[in-house]
Amino acid sequence: MIFRDSFVSRLVPFLSEHFSRAVYLWQNAFDADDVLQEHPDVVIQEIVGRHLYTFIPSPELVPK
């Protein structure tokens, strides 16, 4: 599962070849509900640098 913005558009073919299935969500906001519903093995959140000032990690997804 990859949360992305427009910067990933050209990377999609290169990222996808490393996974049997990839879900790309074009949104800046990380959605924990989507992750919990999809149960992915890997989650990538790509963020353009100018949006890092509003980045808030989702502590509910961190294994305990």
Q: Which tens digits make up the pLDDT trace of 3-12?
A: 988 888 999 9
β-strands 44-45, 2-4 pairing? parallel
| Alpha-carbon distance values, 40 to 10, 24, 31, 36 (Å) | 22, 12, 13, 8
Q: What is the pLDDT of residue 22?
A: 93
pLDDT digit string, tens, across residues 28-64: 777 888 998 999 999 998 888 777 777 666 666 666 6
